Amino acid sequence: MHTRIKSIAKSVVFLTILITSLYYINRTLMPKYIYKNSTWPTTSSYNQFYKMDRNSVDVLFFGSSVAVNAFSPQEIYNNYGIRSYNLGSEQQSVFLSYYWLKEALRFQSPRVVVLDTRFLFELHPENPINTTEGLTRKCLDPMKWSPVKAEAVSALCKIDSEQSELSYYLTNIRFHTRWESLTEYDILYKEVQTAKLKGYSPIEEYGPDTYETYTFGGDLETVANPHTIMKEYLDKMTELCEEEGISFILVSLPGNPMSDGINNMLSLYAEEYKVDYYNLCETEMYNSIGAILPRESVIIHENLWGSIKMSKFIGKMLSENYGISEVEDYQYEETRDYYEHIIKNCELPHIININEYLQAINDDRYTIFISASGDSSAGLTDEIKQNLRSLGISNDFEGKYGWSYCAVISPETGINEETGIEKIICKGSIRDRKTIYTISSEGELSGNSISSIVIDWTEYSKNMRGMNIVVYDNSLMKVVDTVCFNTSGDCAAVR
Question: Which backbone phi and psi does 64 adopt, to 5 degrees?
Answer: -85, -170
CB 69 within 8 A of CB 203: yes
pLDDT digits (tens, 9 = 90+) for 282-292: 999 999 999 99
What is the number of other CB atoms lying within 10 angstroms of the CB of residue 343?
16
Q: Quickly count helices (H) and strands (E) in the chain.
A: 19, 15
Q: Domains of the chain by range and CATH?
A: 28-342 (3.40.50.1110), 351-494 (no CATH)
pLDDT at residue 126, as a whole number: 93
- b/e string for 204-228 if b means 16 or more Cβ within 10 A? bebbeeebeebeeeeeeeebbebbe
Q: Residue 36: pLDDT band by 50, 70, 90 thresholds?
A: confident
The answer on pLDDT for 256 being more than 90 is yes
Q: What is the mean pLDDT of residues 65-82?
A: 98
Quote the pTM value: 0.91
Question: Mean pLDDT, to the nearest integer, of 48-61?
Answer: 97
- Asked whether 285 and 279 are in contact (CB, 8 A), the reply is yes
* List of residues 6+ apart from 24 with CB closer than 8 A: none
65: confidence class by pLDDT, cuts 50, 70, 90: very high
What pLDDT is attached to residue 24?
Answer: 44
Is residue 183 pLDDT above 50, yes or no? yes
Q: Distance (Å, rounded) from C-alpha 397 to C-alpha 385?
A: 9
Residue 29 pLDDT > 70? no
Query: What is the reported pLDDT for 43?
Result: 84
What mean pLDDT is predicted for residues 247-260?
Answer: 97
Q: Which residue has the higher pLDDT, 46 or 191?
A: 46
- 101 vs 195 pLDDT, higher one: 101
Tell me what the mean pLDDT of segment 352-378 comes to.
97
Q: What is the pLDDT of residues 467-480, one digit of tens each?
A: 999 999 998 999 99
Say whether pLDDT at 76 is over 60.
Answer: yes
Average pLDDT score over residue span 338-356: 97
CB-count burial class (<10 Å; 0-12, 13-18, 19+) for 427? exposed
pLDDT at 165: 87
Going by pLDDT thresholds of 50, 70 and 90, the confidence category of residue 105 is very high
Our CA dihedral for 396, 401, 406, 411, rounded to 10 degrees, sits at: 20
| Mean pLDDT estimate for the chain | 91
Say yes or no to pLDDT of 194 above 70.
Answer: no
pLDDT at 178: 47
Q: What is residue 310's predicted lDDT score, i.e. its pLDDT?
A: 98
Residue 195 has a pLDDT of 72
pLDDT at position 3 over 60: yes
pLDDT attached to residue 187: 56
CA distances from 271 to 114, 119, 249, 250, 277 (A): 16, 20, 12, 12, 9
* Percent of the chain surpassing pLDDT 90: 83
The rounded distance, in Å, linking the Cα atoms of 456 and 277 is 48
The crossing angle, in degrees rounded to 10, of helices 94-104 and 147-159 is: 170
Using the predicted structure, report yes or no on whether residue 18 has a pLDDT greater than 50. Answer: no
Please say whether the beta carbons of 254 and 115 come within 8 A: no
Using the predicted structure, report yes or no on whether residue 21 has a pLDDT greater than 50: no
Burial 163-178 (b: 16+ CB within 10 A, else e): beeebbeebbebbeeb
Q: Which pLDDT value is given to residue 169?
A: 81
Asked whether residue 167 carries a pLDDT value surpassing 60, the answer given is yes
Query: For residue 12, what pLDDT is reported?
Result: 56
131 alpha-carbon distance from chain centroid: 19
Quote the pLDDT of residue 35.
74
Residue 293's pLDDT band, with cuts at 50, 70 and 90, is: very high
User: What pLDDT does residue 17 have?
Assistant: 55
Of the candidates 224, 286, 225, the residue with the CA atom closest to the CA atom of residue 252: 286
- What does the CA dihedral 27, 31, 37, 40 come to, rounded to 10 degrees? -100
Residue 248 pLDDT exceeds 90: yes
Residue 9, pLDDT above cutoff 60? no
Computed from CA positions of residues 398, 401, 404, 407, in that sequence, does the dihedral angle turn out positive or negative?
positive
